[in-house]
Amino acid sequence: MKQHFINEVRAFNRFYTHIIGLVNDHILHSEYSLPEARILFELYYHPGLTASELIGMLDMDKGYLSRILRRFGEKKLVGRVVSEEDRRVITLALTAKGKAAFEVLNRASDEQIEQAFGNLSEKDSQALVEKMTEIRRMITKNNILEYK
């Protein structure tokens, strides 16, 4: 890839991370980092994942995930359930407190997108979403990156 293209991709990344506030330590004015919010997201929509499955989905360091899960356990956001079929398998699930924490983040994320893009017309909103879909398709088409 030519340096000009690299520079443009990096410029877009800086632009978009600024729009969605990823330059801050905590996402959406919350107490959570982006990786923590993503773990809450995955456990909200996929209850019963194992830590190993989360590591694979998020391509996250095992030790880092372990520290986050320990903090989430201390805060009573995540519970661990031992499998009845195989006592060696421990699945993870959000507690009621964890679900509530995620729902606050989810609403804040919706509001952030509405604030950033809400002034677009229906036509421009549709075009934006189509272009975002095309970007994901182009990146994943050649297995450049795998979106999980």
pLDDT tier at 2 (50, 70, 90 boundaries)? Answer: very high
Nearest alpha-carbon partner for 46 in 2, 94, 84:
94
Same domain, 18 and 84: yes
Measured CA to CA in angstroms, residue 99 lies from 27, 35, 78, 139, 148 at distances of 17, 16, 9, 32, 21
Listed range (5-19, 89-103, 116-130) with the worst mean pLDDT: 5-19
Same domain, 134 and 101: no
| pLDDT of res. 145 | 57
| pLDDT of res. 143 | 65
Same domain, 47 and 82: yes
Same domain, 76 and 142: no
**pLDDT > 70? residue 86:** yes
Report the SS3 class of residue 40: helix
What CATH number is associated with residue 39? 1.10.10.10
| pLDDT of res. 4 | 95
pLDDT tier at 84 (50, 70, 90 boundaries)? Answer: confident
Domain that holds residue 58: 3-117
Where is pLDDT greater, at 22 or 12? 12
- Spacing of C-alpha 139 from chain mean position: 18
The tens digit of pLDDT for each residue in 38-74 reads 999 999 999 999 999 999 999 999 999 999 999 999 9
* Amino acid sitting at position 60: M
Same domain, 105 and 132: no
Same domain, 89 and 24: yes
Same domain, 30 and 75: yes
Same domain, 58 and 26: yes
Report the SS3 class of residue 37: helix
Same domain, 45 and 10: yes
**pLDDT > 80? residue 144:** no
Same domain, 25 and 60: yes
Nearest alpha-carbon partner for 95 in 73, 125, 111, 117:
73
| pLDDT of res. 85 | 87
| pLDDT of res. 55 | 96
Same domain, 106 and 132: no
Count of domains in the chain? 2
Nearest alpha-carbon partner for 93 in 61, 147, 53:
53
